[in-house]
Amino acid sequence: MTSQPVSAPARAPRPLLDVRRVYLEPAAAELPRGRQVLARWPDAERVEVDSHWRIPELAGDEANVDRWVRIKTEALVLGVKKSLTARPNGRSSDFVAPSTANGCAMACAYCYVPRRKGFSNPVTVFANIEQICRYTARHVARQGLKSVPDQVDPSAWVYDIGENSDCSVDARISDNVRDLVDTFRGLPTAKASFATKHVNRDLLDWDPQGRTRIRFSLMPDADSRLLDVRTERIADRIAAIDDFVAAGYEVHVNLSPVVVRAGWLADWADLLDHLASGTGQAFKDQAAAEIIFLTHNEPLHEVNLRWHPKAEHLLWTPETQQAKVSQTGGRNVRYRNGFKGARVRELTELIAERTPWLRVRYAF
């Protein structure tokens, strides 16, 4: 890895990462991973902070998209993950592993990744990776064998390693993701799993031996052009699938978020046809999909109206949505029960017709 800016997709006005400033907890900078990250951007200014959470100048300005995208591009935070826990999950994975990063250099309009570092939410890398890998391996050992097959996996305990970030981007910043992939290669009863909207071909050399599942997120290109900001194009994600299968990854797809609008089902049909024609039999033999219909959020809607109102035409549709207060007290909206049930049926029937080899792990 060099200190050169990482190339972003052609449509992005600036590189995905061009780190100029690293905010660091001193303890993180002393760890080998911290030193490695600092060596990767030797010219970046170093700013000591007490905590990776409380950095007011990184909060960004909700109304100034240029400013917060610049923060995403140029700022990096280096911290130590204090509390290590693997949380039961149950739908996408069995457990959520302790995160090795949070925040994201991309800027999807519907992003639900918590923005505790403010609206810009740049990437924080946790430098205590050895501790995190050891904790995760011990947690796997405590589970023993998975004796009851389920939709998550027939025999492996699956750990989501990218709940708070996009691992393909994180892997451009440090070796944390690679260390996790290496750890899971040696854990025959478990698998790592993460969803991604970025194609990082560096991962093709890592020899995961089937113990890491990558879930490429897909949606119709028309929706993605509007809603996915700074991500890889849908065609590029599909074009990468066979290479990741050949490199030893299990590859699934996340059909998410599903946004219901005029003509949505026809565009999903085109996307499924593209997935079928753009991938080979090895992918199809192991493919599975998670389907997640859009969940939106009132504060995010208010923010988006100020910088990306066109996105809100798709995302905020009170006539078909209902509110639900989340566990953390936030007011989320999702499609109304009966309406959503009918759309879920339409999409799963479409998948059965267009891509009958694509097993639907769950749809909600």
Residues near ligand SF4, by CB under 6 A: 104, 106-108, 111, 113, 166, 197, 231
Q: Closest separation between CB of residue 86 and ligand SF4, Å?
A: 20
201 DSSP 8-state letter: G
106 DSSP 8-state letter: S
Q: Closest separation between CB of residue 46 and ligand SF4, Å?
A: 25
Q: How many residues does the chain have?
A: 364
Spatial distance between the Cα atoms of 108 and 72, rounded to a whole number of angstroms? 13
Our CB check for ligand SF4 shows the closer of 48 and 302 to be 302
Q: Closest separation between CB of residue 197 and ligand SF4, Å?
A: 4
Our CB check for ligand SF4 shows the closer of 121 and 355 to be 121
Going by C-alpha positions, the residue among 166, 71, 180, 69 that lies closest to residue 113 is 166
Spatial distance between the Cα atoms of 231 and 107, rounded to a whole number of angstroms? 8
Q: Closest separation between CB of residue 99 and ligand SF4, Å?
A: 12
Q: Integer distance in angstroms from the first to the last C-alpha of the chain?
A: 39
Q: Closest separation between CB of residue 357 and ligand SF4, Å?
A: 27
Q: Closest separation between CB of residue 285 and ligand SF4, Å?
A: 28
Our CB check for ligand SF4 shows the closer of 25 and 166 to be 166
Q: Closest separation between CB of residue 213 and ligand SF4, Å?
A: 17
Q: Which residues pair with 297 in a beta bridge?
A: 332
| Long-range contacts of 82-88, Cβ-Cβ distance < 8 Å, separation of 24 or more | 84/131, 84/132, 84/135, 86/135, 86/136, 86/139, 86/159
Task: Give the phi and the psi of residue 223 in degrees, each rounded to 5.
Answer: -70, -45
Q: Closest separation between CB of residue 101 and ligand SF4, Å?
A: 10
Our CB check for ligand SF4 shows the closer of 106 and 214 to be 106
Sign of CA dihedral 23, 26, 27, 33: positive
Which residues lie below 8 Å from residue 44, measured CB to CB, with a gap of 6+? 19, 20, 21, 22, 38, 76
> What strand order describes the sheet that includes 21-24?
45-48, 21-24, 75-79, 124-126, 101-102
Our CB check for ligand SF4 shows the closer of 108 and 300 to be 108
Structure tokens at 357: 């080899």
Residues 216, 237 contacting (CB under 8 angstroms): yes
Our CB check for ligand SF4 shows the closer of 31 and 218 to be 218
- Three-state DSSP state, 135: helix
Our CB check for ligand SF4 shows the closer of 140 and 214 to be 214
Spatial distance between the Cα atoms of 71 and 69, rounded to a whole number of angstroms? 5
Our CB check for ligand SF4 shows the closer of 183 and 254 to be 254
Q: Closest separation between CB of residue 234 and ligand SF4, Å?
A: 13
Our CB check for ligand SF4 shows the closer of 139 and 215 to be 215
Element (H, E) at 291: strand 288-293
